Amino acid sequence: MAPPKAATATTSRARLASLIKSARDTMRKDAGLNGDLDRLPQLSWLLFLKAFDQRVEKERAVISPERPALIEEPYRWQDWAADQDFSGDDLKKFVNDELIPYLAALKGADGDAEDPRNVLSTIFRDVSNRMQSGTLLRDLVNLVDQIHFDSSDDIHTMAFVYESILKEMRDAAGDSGEFYTPRPVNRFMVQQSFLKHGETILDPACGTGGFLVQAYEELRAVDTDSQRQRLHASIKGIEKKPLPYLLASMNLLLHGISAPQLVRDNALLRMRDATAADRVDVVLTNPPFGGEEERSVVEKFPKGYQTQETSWLFLHAILDQLKQGGRCAIVLPNGSLFASGENSIGARIKQKLMRECNLHTIVRLPQGAFAPYTQIPSNLLFFDKGIPTQEVWFYEIPLPEGRRGYTKTKPMRVEEFEPCVQWWGGEKREGREEGSHAWKVSATDIEKAGYNLDIANPHVGEDLDHRTPQELVDELLKTEREILGLLEELREGLGELA
Amino acid sequence: MKLTEYRVGEIMTLVRRPVDVSPDGLYHEIGIRSFGNGVFHKPPVSGEELGAKRVFYIQPGDLLFSNVFAWEGAVALAAETEAGKIGSHRFMTYRVDTEKADPRYLLRYFYGGPGLLTIREASPGSAGRNRTLGISNFERQLLRLPTVNEQRRISDKFDATASLLAQFKTLRTRSSRIAQQYMDALLQPLDRAPLSAALQANSDFVEVNPEVTYSTAGMFNRGRGLFHRPAIMGRDTKYPRYNRLHVGQFVYSKLFGWEGSLAVVPPEFEGVHVSHEFPTFDIDRSAADVEYMSHLARWTGLHDALKDKGTGMGSRRQRVNVDRLLATEVPLPKLSEQRRIARQLTMVRRTAELGEEQTAHIASLQEALLEAAFTGRL
């Protein structure tokens, strides 16, 4: 029998899931919404307002009752959303003509970077109510009002549920180049970055805020209010698109950061325009790849490094964005590691990376770690700025025994990183040894190979003689999956038919 | 796509950098492959060996044309690896005006795009060797190019794709190698018996009638099977008789058995004729499975065993005679085991065939990319 605590969590997760299902059914009836791509934003901004009411306003009222509410009457959730009789065209008109414009025009108090109203207005500048029926809108608001964000268990549950909707939306959208980072990968990268209090942490492509939340979780044990404020201020994200921005804000809000340091902007432009004061200690990110950038953005980069490939632009910008001694953990696809063509800009950026930074570790993830979003094989690169690379350690995370890949229902698990964490050798990376999954390559050899970092594990690599038919078929499957991933990457890169 | 018209001479300039050859210096010459397949490096030679040959330095970023083979796409872009290398006067080194054009775009434009026609316009000779690219004629030709930004965008996309395609090829090769090793892993450990345990010589000889048309076949080496030859009139062959093939027979070439010319006759070769130099055998169904035997015919292990079974002198006279073939030991387990292994080998073989289809698709993809690039669809 399951312990009672787990049983409660399951119930509440199931309850939430069923509320959200009802919400989606309600939205399906409305003529103004087409598909999940319309429905999710609608649900998200309502959830956000509810969460904001409970997590920020109510807590604020308890902690400092003398300070006025951030959202004024009659725009508070309790004023309009909790009133069940407020419905139909009146409600629709209020939301469209008053509420959203009011929220979009909010401004934080001067000089108060912590004021959440700035986040609110940034979010609501891009929000519109797409529902045409005020009555259905009322039904939806009622459903959202039943969701509570009181206990931290509920917050986790909510985060879980909304990430799962988000996943579905990604499936529906097939957004090129943007892939939701699985939680175990977030966690592993944060863990192996050995974060410390007082360090500034940036995810320039923060999406829904997975890395930032994980980093916050890692550091959240602080003693005083001022320490907490400093911590909140040190976790920064940039996101270009409105919906992920909203979701990231909500994600951080739900985890207890009332004024998330999130910027909605083109991260590449922002990083290129950054000054020395904007540099950070740690970058944790999974940048979009295969995407294309506008020429004006590309031209912000030095001549020899101009390319449309967003992952290269991100890597280049991050090199500048890090302080001396700063650290970075970044997700890159196999194709980027491989890029070594004679005129390849990728090779040039990798050369710059290895000359300016110590690229100490590359963790090769198993095929399908990002399934079902993509089969493109991915890698985690860890580097420190300031010292040139002497040698690069590679660690290959194998698929769990007997598994042939990951699926939606059987995704990658945190424990699969455990042997790599053991091998890592702590913050100083002490006592690393070569083994069946770990090997090292000197910077000179990498340079000779034209900066091709797609280096296969020599311990399983080419010497396939004397292997059993079973092992060989496994190897064959692995190669074919790699081919499949590669072809998918190729397809991504070609974009839509012109 | 907005296009601007330029003369070739407006977007690139021929820059010659003569090498002052010293007799004891060491020089690395380059060559250019046709069809846009890039630069290759020749083995280094001393200045003395170069003699009076006029040679010029190559610099990274040079757009290179072989004036003899430019008409078939012998165009390349010099990279860092070409720094300090030299080329003969046959290799034209152009510097591109990067305000107007991206050299990477021009490279593809000339070997696989509309530029190939431009080159041919300026290469007037008729016979292959005479179709030399005329410099002044070439530089007068007109080109139509998109903006330099658009050229860069297309080139970036091309580079990214090219890199992925290179990776694809590595993986494809690796996959076929593993498939090959899989075959070894299954066959090597098995008990062996001479081929005579499974094969019985049986030829269906027919007298050649001068008035009759015969469909004939030949055989590839390394177990790659039979192929059809054009039909032939009886009067046009020197053979007095033909051996008629029957489906499910084992056949090999006496002349090239040592190179692995072996096969089991597939249905589409039923009744097709081969010369008497191709002995045929019935497979004893009580001792061997036909499908299994067809895999053995493709197996490098058997080819290796036949390598030194030739008799006679000189590579073309190394006939493997029937007795020697039948005495060759091969893995031959009991029938049920053969069937099991044959099924597995057939499956892996099928994946390898699909892999070959992929390779063919990738080849057409490269064509399609070029086509798309120069019609504004990339």
Q: A-chain residues within 8 Å CB-CB of B165?
A: 490
- Here the tokens at position B66 are 């072989």
Q: Average the pLDDT over A193-218 and give the result.
A: 92
pLDDT, one tens digit per residue, over A464-496 is 556 777 777 887 888 888 888 878 877 777 776
Please classify residue B367 by burial: count the beta carbons closer than 10 Å to its beta carbon, then call 0-12 exposed, 13-18 middle and 19+ buried.
exposed
What's the pLDDT at A2? 41
- pLDDT (0 to 100) of residue A54: 83
Q: What angle do CA A143, A147, A151 make, to 5 degrees?
A: 175
Task: List CB contacts of A362: < 8 A, sequence separation 6 or more.
Answer: A337, A379, A380, A381, A382, A392, A393, A394, A395, A453
Burial class of A448 by CB neighbour count within 10 A (0 to 12, 13 to 18, 19+): exposed
Please report where in the chains the tokens 């953990």 appear, as a residue.
A329
Mutate to test the interface with A, among B174, B343, B375 (most CBs of A within 10 A): B174
Q: Is B173 on the interface with A (CB under 8 A)?
A: no
Q: With an 8 Å Cβ cutoff, is B190 touching chain A?
A: no
Residue contact A483–B162, C-beta within 8 A: no
pTM, two decimal places: 0.65
Inter-chain residue contact A343 with B348, CB threshold 8 Å: no
| Chain B residues closer than 8 Å to A335 by CB | 160, 163-164, 167
Contact B156 A345 (CB under 8 A): yes
Cα B270 from Cα B246, distance rounded (Å): 5
Q: Which of residues 40-79 of B touch A (CB under 8 A)?
A: 77, 79
Minimum-distance CB partner of B167 among A295, A338, A343: A338
| B57 three-class SS | strand
Tell whether B180 is within 8 A of chain A (Cβ).
Answer: no
In the predicted model, what is the mean pLDDT of chain B? 91
Residue A6's pLDDT is: 39
Q: Look at residue B161 in the predicted model and tell me its pLDDT.
A: 86
Separation CA A96–CA B200 (nearest Å): 90
Query: Cα dist. A227→A220, A221, A368, A491, B181 in Å?
Result: 10, 10, 40, 47, 61
Q: Which residue of A has its CA nearest to B79?
A: A342
- Tell whether B83 lies on the interface with A, counting CB pairs under 8 A: no
Average pLDDT value for residue range A236-248: 87
What's the confidence (pLDDT) of residue A8?
A: 40
Between chain A and chain B, how many beta carbons pairs sit less than 8 Å apart? Answer: 100
pLDDT band at B207 (very low <50, low <70, confident <90, very high): very high
Other C-beta atoms closer than 10 Å to the C-beta of A160 total 14
Given a contact cutoff of 8 angstroms between Cβ atoms, the answer to whether B64 and B118 are in contact is no
Q: What is the pLDDT of residue A166?
A: 63
Q: Which residue of B has its CA nearest to A471?
A: B182
- Max intra-chain CA distance, chain A: 78
Q: Name which of B157, B181, B348 is nearest A493 (Cβ-Cβ).
A: B157
Q: Least CB-CB distance to B181: which of A306, A464, A486?
A: A464
Task: In whole angstroms, give the CA distance from residue A273 to residue A263.
Answer: 14
DSSP B42: P
Q: B166 contacts in A (CB within 8 Å)?
A: 338, 341
Contact indicator for A289, A310 with CB cutoff of 8 Å: yes
pLDDT at B111: 94
C-alpha closest to that of B92 among B34, B14, B19: B14
Phi-psi category of residue A194: left, alpha or beta, with phi > 0 → left and psi -120 to 50 → alpha = left
Q: Beta strands A280-285 and A201-203: pairing type?
A: parallel
pLDDT attached to residue B76: 96
Greater confidence, A326 or B375?
Answer: A326
Binary contact (A479, B171; C-beta < 8 A): yes
Statement: residue A462 has pLDDT above 60: no
**Cα three-residue angle B12-B17-B21, rounded to 5 degrees:** 155
Q: Is the pLDDT of residue B46 over 80?
A: yes
Q: Measured between CB atoms, which of A338, A469, A490 is closest to B161?
A: A490
Tokens of A306: 């101009």
Using only the alpha carbons of chain A, give its radius of gyration. 24
Closest by Cβ to B168, choosing from A295, A342, A486: A486
Do residue B164 and residue A468 have CB atoms under 8 angstroms apart?
no
- Paired residues of B63 in beta bridges: B77, B94
CA distance A47 to A249: 12
Long-range contacts (CB closer than 8 Å, 24 or more residues apart) made by A109-115: A113/A233, A113/A259, A113/A261, A114/A229, A114/A232, A114/A233, A114/A258, A114/A259, A115/A70, A115/A259
Residue B175 to residue A486, Cβ atoms within 8 A:
no
Report d(CA A403, CA A415) in Å as an integer.
15
Long-range contacts of A316-319 (CB under 8 A, 24+ apart): A316/A349, A316/A352, A317/A204, A317/A267, A317/A268, A317/A271, A317/A272, A318/A204, A318/A271, A318/A283, A318/A285, A319/A352, A319/A353, A319/A356, A319/A357, A319/A385
Sign of the dihedral through C-alpha B145, B149, B150, B152:
positive
What are A's interface residues with B at a Cβ cutoff of 8 A? 290, 292, 295, 306-309, 334-335, 338-346, 454, 464-465, 467-469, 472-473, 475-476, 479-480, 482-483, 486-487, 489-490, 493-494, 497-498
Quote the pLDDT of residue A341. Answer: 62
- A492 vs chain B: nearest CA distance in angstroms? 10
Determine whether the interchain pair B377/A483 forms a contact, defined as Cβ–Cβ distance below 8 Å: no
Whether A476 sits inside 8 A of B179 (CB atoms) is yes
pLDDT band at A411 (very low <50, low <70, confident <90, very high): confident
Contact (CB<8Å) B181/A335 = no
Residues 6+ apart with CB under 8 A from A304: A345, A348
Q: What is the pLDDT of residues B167-186, one digit of tens each?
A: 888 889 888 888 888 998 99
User: Which segment, A339-343, A423-427, B173-177, is predicted with the most confidence on average?
Assistant: A423-427
Task: Provide the residue type at B38 as one letter.
Answer: G
Q: In this predicted model, what pLDDT tens digit does every residue of A162-202 receive, in sequence order?
A: 666 666 665 555 454 456 788 889 999 999 999 999 999 99
Model pLDDT, residue B279: 95
Alpha carbon of B104: minimum distance to chain A alpha carbons (Å):
8
Compute the nearest-CA separation of A357 from chain B (Å): 23
Sequence-distant (≥ 6) Cβ neighbours of residue A241 within 8 angstroms: none
Using one digit for the tens of pLDDT, what is the confidence trace for A22-57? 888 899 999 888 877 778 788 888 988 988 888 788
Question: B175 vs A344: CB contact, 8 Å cut-off?
Answer: no
Q: What is the pLDDT of residues B8-26, one digit of tens each?
A: 999 999 999 999 999 888 9
Compare CB distances from B185 to A308, A344, A472 and report the shortest one's residue. Answer: A472
Distance (Å, whole) CA B286 – CA A359: 63
In A25-51, which positions are buried (b, 16+ CB within 10 angstroms) versus exposed (e)? ebbeebeebeebeebbbbbbbbbbbbb
DSSP string, B204-231: -EEEPPTTSEEEEEEE-STT--EEEEEE
Q: Which residue of A has its CA nearest to B377?
A: A498
Which residue reads 């139509």 in tokens? Answer: B144
Contact criterion met (CB < 8 Å) for A498 and B344 = no
| Beta bridge mates, B4 | B145
Report which of residues A373 and A236 the model is more confident about. A236
User: pLDDT per residue over A310-333, tens digit each?
Assistant: 888 999 999 999 999 999 999 998
Cα–Cα distance measured from residue B171 to residue B358, given in angstroms and rounded to the nearest whole number: 12
Establish if B345 touches chain A: CB-CB under 8 angstroms.
no
Q: Which two tokens stand for residue B141?
A: 């030709």
**For A100-127, what is each residue's pLDDT tens digit?**
999 999 888 776 766 788 888 888 888 8
How close B348 comes to chain A (CA, Å)?
9
Separation in Å, CA of B82 to nearest CA in chain A: 10
Kindly determine whether residue B175 and residue A346, on different chains, have CB atoms separated by under 8 Å. Answer: no
Are the Cβ atoms of B153 and A468 closer than 8 angstroms? Answer: no
Inter-chain touch B167–A335, beta carbons under 8 Å: yes
- For residue B142, is pLDDT > 80? yes
pLDDT of residue A4: 42
Which residue of chain B is at minimal alpha-carbon distance from A294? B153
Q: Do A486 and B172 touch (CB under 8 A)?
A: no
Answer with the residue of higher pLDDT: B322 or A152: B322
Confidence category of residue A10, pLDDT binned at 50, 70, 90: very low
- Chain A residues with CB under 8 Å of B348 CB are 473, 476
Cα–Cα distance, A356 to A344 (Å, whole number): 19
Is residue B70 within 8 A of residue B119, CB to CB? The reply is yes
| pLDDT over 90 percentage in chain B | 61
The residue of A348, A490, A492 whose CB has the most chain B CBs within 10 angstroms, and thus the best one to mutate to test that interface, is A490
What does pLDDT average to over chain A?
A: 84
Cα separation, A123 vs A239, whole angstroms? 12
Interchain CB contact of B88 with A (< 8 Å): no
- Contact list in B for residue A295 (CB cut-off 8 A) is 149, 153
From the CA of A376, how many Å to the nearest CA of chain B? 12
CB A236 within 8 A of CB A213: no
d(CA B123, CA A4) in angstroms, rounded, equals: 85
Question: How is residue A410 annotated by DSSP?
Answer: S
If one compares A433 and B1, the residue with the highest pLDDT of the two is A433
